[in-house]
A and B are shown apart, each in its own frame.
Chain A
Amino acid sequence: MTIMENGTGPAPRTDAGPSGLGAYAAGVWAVVGMELRQRLRARGWYIMLVVWFGLIWLVTALTWASWKFQSSAQGDFGGVAGSAANGPGPLIFEAVLAFVLLFGLLVAPALSANAISGDRAGGTLAIMQVTLLRPGQLLWGKFLASWCAALAFLVVSVPFLVFGILQGGLGAGHILVALLMLAIELGVVCALGVGVSALANRPLFSIVVTYLVVAALTFGTLIAFGLGMMVTDGTVQANQVYYKNSYVATGPDGTVDPSQPSGQPELPQDITDQNDQFACYGPLQDQRAPRTDRVAWLLGMNPFVVVADAIPYPDRTSAAQQQYAVGAFESISQGARSAQAGPEATCQCANGKVAASYLSPQAPLWPLGLGLQLLLAAGVMALAWRALRTPAGRLAKGTRIA
């Protein structure tokens, strides 16, 4: 650096490293390194990992045992095992995945939500703030470190997911997508936890608030969706439904009406659309229907919906395959997508069309849901960044004055 470049300003003596993005990343890595070193030396983390391993093992073993029992019982009665016909692979995979997500949502706040409030309580936050670290570097470092700690739990559960895959019925793509989505969900929770911890004064408070946010995402979105569906009551243009093969016309005394030899009312004349089960007939009329498409985004924010919807499953719209969802995650995905499609697509005979009993993999819901989750996390992080800026204009209540 020449005198000319240096100008008249004071010579930077400490800033001799790389500049720009490289220097920024170096600061982030310094925070990550320090945080991970501290976490690796905490015994509680290892205990939690062992407990976690044991729990997932238990879930896997019980799922496998229940399948064994079920299939052998069905074998005794000579029946064809329903879901068991495919082998225990999908069952174990889904059970393990659901539990890993559930436990992950429970563990991630504990790993992240005292990251900054704990430092504040211990008096080490100001020591980092007074250095050349910028608030963003502090936040990124804390976030990445807590995410790494949370991902370790995911790594521990990989053997069980692989076990599920090895039982057949699923491909390696499933495990990759599932792990990726779980990792992202853990990252969202960690970001929320770190963000909340920068806003809160006390570690306990920030941990509780983060748990409440996770609960709001997991249960609150379901409740909000249910309530939202009621208030977004709308109308849809639909005509009458004719159920084929399902009417048994009976007389007033319970006997079959002989004037209807087939036991079936006559097929109406003005059919607008039909398939082998339903037919739509008559003029279009306004019918009340919940506009689920307006509140489906609430459902989409649910971590279970995001993961379930992102995991691929075969297109079952072709007649050759069974026309109902197999497995819990596929059912969740189908439910969420039908909510997103709204009454126009799911209400029978809306616009005079027969609704498909099974939605083709149309526009998936998870990008919207995940996007909203990321938006929420980014918003909390932005507030956290504001709170960490120094020289601080405002101090949180309860901070020591002099």
Chain B
Amino acid sequence: MEAATEPFTGLAAVGISRRFGAVQAVANMELHAPAGEVTALIGPNGAGKTTLLLVLASLLAPDSGTVRVMGIDPMKEPAAARARIGWMPDTLGVWESLTAREILTVMGKFYRMPKGRLPARVDELLDLVNLAELAEQKARVLSRGQQQRLSLARALIHDPDVLLLDEPASGLDPGSRVSLRRILRGLAADGKAVVVSSHVLAELDEIADRAVFVNAGRTVLVQTVGQAAAQGRRYAISALDPAALAAELTRLGVSFDAGKGRRDCVSVALGTEAQGAQLLADLVRAGVAVTAFAPAAGALEESYLGLDVEQR
């Protein structure tokens, strides 16, 4: 079990199990989140994602298994580990009568940050999450998305090396999602290990470098986004004349079925992106007026749906 001989920078969890009474919430889960990358934690409701994140955040003790935060065991040295962990819970949990600035300042005090550096750090984070104008507003009057952004800033106050984000995108408007993506990519570029749990799989294609799929408390698949994209996916194609499209696809020998979503579009399974490009070229050359040709689902979504996971 103790195979952590090779140096690994980032967050490593091996063989994590945790039972709550009769419910085995997490069974032998494994997660490696290397520094400098964004790792997505994907699974259905009740798969044990939040439990795993609680263990990783050093809030919950696992029944078995080991966690290393930049090489530190949070069970043995919780303070040293916590100085390096930023945790954003799925529940908002804001102190409603405090202002955004006060919340960040008091969090900095809880992390024992030097007093002199704190105001500048608070301003920096308020700018980062685009809340500078609302800094003096009570958290109560902030919208859900604004509170979510404040929660992200709160997790970043002490400049942690490992960032654990539980459903950070829920409640965010499209603009905020784009800026969240930018912030997370920026943190990864700075060498942080970022773990994101989310349900918005299309979103994760853009953010994550790798994904850990969990189901029923177990790690079921680990792959990089590159691997996910290479495994083949479905494309949705529509044309001005659906009949001509169908005829041409039949002539090319490509099997297709009627698309599930929009009307007048067909769905085609292709192995690689190169095959997709080739098919599009063939269709256009044959004179089919193609109006849309795009992956029907994100790469990670394909993986997820391919796992045939169960909800519980």
Contact = CB atoms under 8 A, between A and B. Distances in A.
Contacts of B47: 402
A130 B84 CA distance: 11
Contacts of B61: 391-393
A42 B49 CA distance: 36
B109 A37 contact: no
A132 B160 CA distance: 12
A122 B147 CA distance: 14
A30 interface: yes
A172 interface: no
A41 B97 CA distance: 7
A338 B244 CA distance: 108
A117 to B, nearest CB: 14
Given A12-B83, A392-B60, A30 B72 contact: no
Given A132-B112, A391-B78, A401-B51, A13 B159 contact: yes
A10 interface: yes
Given A14-B83, A34-B98, A391 B110 contact: no
Interface string B41-73: 000001111110011011111000000001110
A394 to B, nearest CB: 9
A33 B106 contact: yes
A224 B115 CA distance: 53
Interface in B66-119: 70-72, 74-75, 78-80, 82-85, 87, 89, 91-95, 97-98, 102, 106-107, 109-115
A86 to B, nearest CB: 49
Given A12-B83, A38-B95, A391-B78, A130 B58 contact: yes
A15 interface: yes
Contacts of A133: 110
Given A126-B59, A130-B58, A130-B87, A401 B23 contact: yes
A17 B112 contact: yes
Nearest to B164: A130
A364 B294 CA distance: 88
A259 interface: no
B80 A10 contact: yes
A127 B93 contact: yes
Contacts of A391: 55, 58-61, 74-75, 78
Interface string A125-141: 01111111100000000
Contact of A401 (B25, B59, B106): B25
Q: A42, A128, A401: which has the most chain B beta carbons within 10 Å?
A: A401
B210 interface: no
B106 A14 contact: no
A89 interface: no
A18 to B, nearest CB: 9
A15 B47 CA distance: 36
B154 interface: yes
Contacts of B20: 395, 399, 401
Contacts of A12: 80, 83
Contacts of B87: 127, 130
A131 B59 contact: no
Contacts, number: 118
A15 B109 CA distance: 10
Nearest to A38: B97
Contact of A42 (B23, B50, B97, B158): B97
B71 to A, nearest CB: 8
A390 B112 contact: no
Given A10-B70, A132-B83, A391-B61, A402 B50 contact: yes
B158 A402 contact: no
A30 B109 contact: yes
Contact of B89 (A27, A127, A132): A127
Contacts of A123: 89, 91-93
B59 A17 contact: no
Contact of A15 (B54, B58, B83, B94): B83
Given A127-B89, A401-B25, 17 more contacts: A9-B80, A10-B70, A10-B71, A13-B83, A13-B159, A26-B112, A41-B97, A41-B138, A42-B97, A126-B54, A130-B58, A132-B79, A391-B59, A399-B20, A401-B46, A402-B26, A402-B51
Interface of B: 20, 23, 25-26, 46-51, 54-55, 57-61, 70-72, 74-75, 78-80, 82-85, 87, 89, 91-95, 97-98, 102, 106-107, 109-115, 138, 154, 158-159, 217
17 contacts: A14-B112, A16-B114, A34-B106, A37-B102, A41-B97, A123-B92, A127-B107, A127-B154, A130-B59, A130-B85, A130-B87, A132-B83, A390-B59, A390-B78, A391-B60, A395-B20, A402-B217
The 4 closest A-B CB pairs, nearest first, are: A123-B93, A123-B91, A131-B110, A391-B61
